[in-house]
Structure formats: structure tokens, C-alpha cells
Chain A
């Protein structure tokens, strides 16, 4: 149980195009999901908190018009990197918390998406 599926695992796109990354909670409902970015050999930096049915909350310094987040259902959040540039190349990870039950204190992570912009 408590599986979070993230897709795609790897994506290469051309500079100027947009890329969508999906994060799904497979066996639980998640009113809140989180999107992180991880540079090589560094820690996870929170980009935004995705709230089901409402606007995402972005961390300071994260461009909300560039990183569009949609959380349309209790099991799916998407991150769209718009007009991607090489500096957006990174590892993106989502996590989700179970909205109910004993597991609600911990976050479960997707497998991550390695984005390369050429």
C-alpha cells in the first residue's frame, strides 16, 4: 500500500517547449501533494504545495507561471514546466500524504522525473 506513481521517469525536451509530469496516489486519497526539485548531489527543495481543488502554494523564488500545478482530483497532481530552458533541467519528485488513517503523518514519494532540456 501507499504507492505514489510519477510519470514519466525520464523526459528530454527541446528548449521552449512545455513538459507535463504526473503524480498519482494509487491506493489512497491525497488532498495535499508536494513538488520538490533536486539538483545533483543536493537535497530536496520544496517548490510548491498542491492542494486539491484550489490553487497551489509556491515557495519563495519559484515562478508560478513557469511551474504550473494542477490538483484536479484526490489522486492526481500535475506539474507543467512551461517554456522549458536548459536551466530547468533537474530531478523533480512529488510526494503525497494520506488524508486519513494512521499513515497521515508520513509522506510517500514518487519515483522522480529526470528532466533534460536541450
Chain B
């Protein structure tokens, strides 16, 4: 079974600074997808960024980028120029690419606080 581990329950960063959230996973599959979701106080899950395992290039979305290390099974999220609106719970998630195994497995989450 796949597992996703987020070792940082809480993180804080000064506004406008950069912060990196860690995520590791365990799988025996070669093809899969990785995601970072943001859950603000409203509890609406918002997709931040996704990475296909077959792509070597790290995904980027504006101020958000990932460092995907397939061999190390590591998938960290970097937030640049942190803004107050970035404060939320961040969940790393894994999804297999095999038919019938399309569910998301989530990590335990990292609560990010932005310090004004």
C-alpha cells in the first residue's frame, strides 16, 4: 500500500520570504501522480500543484514550485514570496496511475502560518 509522510506538522514563515514543505512517499508503482492541496479555514480543498512521475521537470505554478526526486521518493513544495493568503493546511497526496487504483492517499498535513 502507498503511504505519504509529511514530517512537519507546523511551519511558519515571514511574509515575502520563502518556505519549503516536505513530503515523502512510498510506492512500488512506476507511474503515478503527486499533488499538493491547500485547505484554508473554509476547509475547501484547493489544488496547488501536481506532478506526473514520468516527467523529470519539476512543476511550477507562479509562486509555487516542487522539488520532485523520484529515486528518493521525495516531493517538496516551495512557496516563494509568501503571502498572508497562503496561510492554510497543506496536504501532499499520491495517486496511482493504474485503473482501479485512482484514489488519493493523503499525508497528515502541514499547518503553515504566515507572519506579517
Contacts and interface: CB of A to CB of B under 8 A. Distances in A.
A111 B109 CA distance: 18
A43 B106 contact: yes
A111 B104 contact: no
A107 interface: yes
Interface string B74-116: 0000000000000000010001000000111111110000000
Interface string B10-47: 00000000000000000000000101010000111111
A34 B37 CA distance: 16
B53 to A, nearest CB: 11
A42 to B, nearest CB: 7
Interface of B: 33, 35, 37, 42-47, 50, 52, 91, 95, 102-109
Given A42-B108, A43-B106, A107-B104, A93 B45 contact: yes
Given A43-B91, A43-B108, A109 B44 contact: yes
Contacts of B43: 38, 91, 93, 111-112
Given A43-B106, A43-B109, A105 B91 contact: no
A5 to B, nearest CB: 11
A100 interface: no
A111 B103 contact: no
| 3 cross-chain pairs, A with B, having the tightest CB-CB distances, nearest first | A109-B45, A43-B106, A43-B108
B46, B50, B106, B108 — most chain A CB neighbours (10 Å):
B106
Given A34-B103, A43-B91, 10 more contacts: A34-B104, A38-B43, A43-B108, A44-B45, A91-B43, A93-B43, A93-B45, A105-B52, A109-B46, A112-B44
A95 B107 contact: no
8 contacts: A43-B106, A44-B45, A91-B43, A105-B52, A105-B95, A107-B95, A108-B47, A112-B43
A106 B61 CA distance: 15
Given A91-B43, A105-B33, A112-B43, A44 B102 contact: no
A93 B43 CA distance: 9
